[in-house]
């Protein structure tokens, strides 16, 4: 009987060790996942730089110089069409109106089609949009109002919303702080 009790004790100790090891492994993964999420700092201005003749700074006061469009309620969806959130009473300025105020380094208008824009958020998140995505449509907006809050009152302040065709998913960039103009030439 003693022989079996020793084996049972060994077996239970082994199970206890494995369970504690699995638990420890789960804690390590949870900790690293939480640490990997960066906080999004609020931004008060966007610097537009790169292949432009003069860098341009867009801030809260600049918004008054542009036409503000009423977008109504906007559901942000993922690539599978699942609703992630609903923004109410959204208003925004077309990004092409803001970018249209700057002078580019290009000598020929034809070269502008090779330009692209790198939009950077305060947490390091980046999105690249082509010239055609920004200028050949009315779907890329700097959000000025959302959920009853104006530009300076929104949590991340300056946000970009790219409205895509239904089912393709929207792009919503929070805490935008820089827009770099570059060319594929």
Taking the C-alpha atoms of residue 110 and residue 64, their distance in angstroms, rounded to an integer, is 31
For residues 77 and 146, the model is more confident at 146
Taking the C-alpha atoms of residue 179 and residue 173, their distance in angstroms, rounded to an integer, is 12
pLDDT at 7: 54
Render pLDDT for 4-45 as a digit per residue (tens, 0 to 9): 555 556 555 655 555 554 544 343 444 444 434 456 676 778
Contact yes or no for 63/143 (Cβ under 8 A): no
Render pLDDT for 56-92 as a digit per residue (tens, 0 to 9): 998 878 888 999 999 998 887 777 778 888 889 989 9
Ramachandran category for residue 175: left, alpha or beta (phi over 0 → left; psi -120 to 50 → alpha): left
What pTM, to 2 d.p., does this model score?
0.73
Contact yes or no for 157/42 (Cβ under 8 A): yes
Render pLDDT for 166-179 as a digit per residue (tens, 0 to 9): 556 677 888 888 99
Q: What is the band of 128 on the pLDDT scale with cuts at 50, 70, 90?
A: very high
Q: Which of 113, 117, 111 shows the shortest CA–CA distance to 181?
A: 117
Percent of the chain at pLDDT > 70 equals 73
30 CB-side CA count, 13 A: 6
For residues 28 and 112, the model is more confident at 112
Burial class (CB in 10 A: 0-12, 13-18, 19+), 47: middle
Taking the C-alpha atoms of residue 140 and residue 164, their distance in angstroms, rounded to an integer, is 9
């Amino acid at each position: 009987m003693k022989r079996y009790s020793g084996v049972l004790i060994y077996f239970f100790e082994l199970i206890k060790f494995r369970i504690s090891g699995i638990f420890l492994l789960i804690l390590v993964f949870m900790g690293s996942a939480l640490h990997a999420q960066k906080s999004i700092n609020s931004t008060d201005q966007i610097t537009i730089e790169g292949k432009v003749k003069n860098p341009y700074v867009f801030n809260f006061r600049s918004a008054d110089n542009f036409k503000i469009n009423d977008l109504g309620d906007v559901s942000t969806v993922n690539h599978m069409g699942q609703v992630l959130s609903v923004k109410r009473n959204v208003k925004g300025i077309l990004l092409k109106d803001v970018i249209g105020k700057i002078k580019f380094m290009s000598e020929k208008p034809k070269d502008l089609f090779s330009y692209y824009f790198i939009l950077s958020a305060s947490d390091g998140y980046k999105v690249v949009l082509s010239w055609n995505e920004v200028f050949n449509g009315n779907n890329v907006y700097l959000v000025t109002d959302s959920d009853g809050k104006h530009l300076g009152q929104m949590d991340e302040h300056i946000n970009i919303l790219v409205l895509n065709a239904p089912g393709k998913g929207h792009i919503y960039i929070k805490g935008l702080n820089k827009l770099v103009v570059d060319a594929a030439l």
